[in-house]
Amino acid sequence: MSGDRELDVVVFGATGFAGRLVAGYLSGHAPGGVRIGLAGRSERRLADVRAGLGAAASAWPLLVADSADPVSVAALARAARVVVSTVGPYRAHGLELVQACAGAGTDYADLTGEVLFIRDSIDSCHDVAAAAGARIVHCCGFDSVPSDLGVLLLHQAARADDAGELQDTTLVVTALRGGVSGGTLASMMAQQAEVRASAQLRRVAGDPYALSPDRAAEPDLGDERDPGWARYDGGLRMWTGPFAMAGINTRVVRRSNALQGWAYGRRFRYREVTGFGASPAAPLLAGAVSTVLKAAEAGLAFGPSRAVLARLLPAPGQGPSEKTRRTGFFRIQIHTRTSAGVRYLGTIEAQGDPGYAATSVMLGETALCLALDCDQLPGRAGVLTPATAMGAALAARLRSAGHTLATTRQVTQLPRKLPRPGWSASRCAFTAAAGTRSRKHRPGTSPRRGPSPQG
């Protein structure tokens, strides 16, 4: 990456709901001397956002750029070492900026959860970004940082113990509380509309290896579709149901495995579920939530009901209240068994609404990690994932920011009780409809990296 840029980090979409939160996080946690700018379509609105961020941001430059204007987007990519984008739906508004960053050798990160957009980005930008030394990193929020880093840390723990490769691996969401924004809903509805209209796009979105750098080289491990209904899991000894973010998270984790030469293992089977415990009420709750998720998905896919929901749900630019963001949380466990028969448990937890408060930390720390920690990052470039672009460096930053990312070598099962009160059928339905977009600091320095495996 060029070291002579005007800025270290630019937040594109800083006047939107998620963009304001990311800008706010950076204003409170970026080390002194980091050059940060705010970008968007309206200089007046950018100035209003900057005025609300306090003294630390008072001198931040404002850059006017529009995703529909290739010239302004190219100028934005040349102005910064790292561009973070919160402007979605990304398939409609994001590819021009990704292409500009790839060509300019500028690192890029976003909050997309859109499989189709990421596939487009891989196909059009991976080779260009790898040649230019740019890291293009999608899914840097609740989808898919906890999943991607959690599995990477389990792999590293097993490798350190010489305990073999990862095999059956299951992420279990044990508790979650949060809200949803209009921008998230718009992204989800846009992708559903495209998938509904095209059999080819349905096949891409439904492929468990949709983001693979080499689809033909992926192993055939049988049915790897995301779980869709409630069931009792004998291995976990609990009732489980679908997790709304599994459709994007599992594909990101599988891409991470392939980009590392299938380092997790050729028999690595990965899935994500919601855990409901083993009490007498657990099957009823698991069944109810599964039904609500299916109903919400169907409602957003059907034109008339989608129009009604669009009037009732938050509009773009709106999102959860400050109280909801502050009191939210998530608790995740990842269970794995290795080829040597050793079991490990990963624990990922954070306070704050997963899709907004916690996500602003994840994307903010991603920006700082890419800008300041280059000497600690894996030596690869291209269209990457959080694990393959930043890995342990980002995990260390998130721990310093108050997140829990831990691994334990043991046999562990979830407690036999219902999930915490954060679970509700309505919240799960909102998350399913949205694909949620989905805390302090550490400075570092900056040399260069080389190309990555093919995208």
- Is the pLDDT at 209 greater than 70? The verdict is yes
Q: Counting beta carbons within 10 angstroms of the beta carbon of residue 338, is it exposed (0 to 12), middle (13 to 18) or buried (19 or more)?
A: buried
Token pair listed for 8: 């270290």
What's the confidence (pLDDT) of residue 186?
A: 72
User: How is 294-357 classified by DSSP, letter by letter?
Assistant: HHHHHHHHSHHHHHHHHHHSPPTT----HHHHHH-EEEEEEEEEETTS-EEEEEEEEES-IIII
Is residue 288 a contact partner of residue 240, using CB atoms and an 8 Å limit? no
pLDDT interval class at 301 (50, 70, 90): low
- Classify residue 3 by its DSSP letter: S
Per-residue pLDDT reduced to its tens digit, 94-110? 999 999 999 999 999 99
Mean pLDDT estimate for the chain: 88
pLDDT tens digits, residue range 382-410?
999 999 999 999 999 999 999 999 999 98
Residue 349: what residue type? E
Helices (H), 161-281: 182-197, 199-206, 246-259
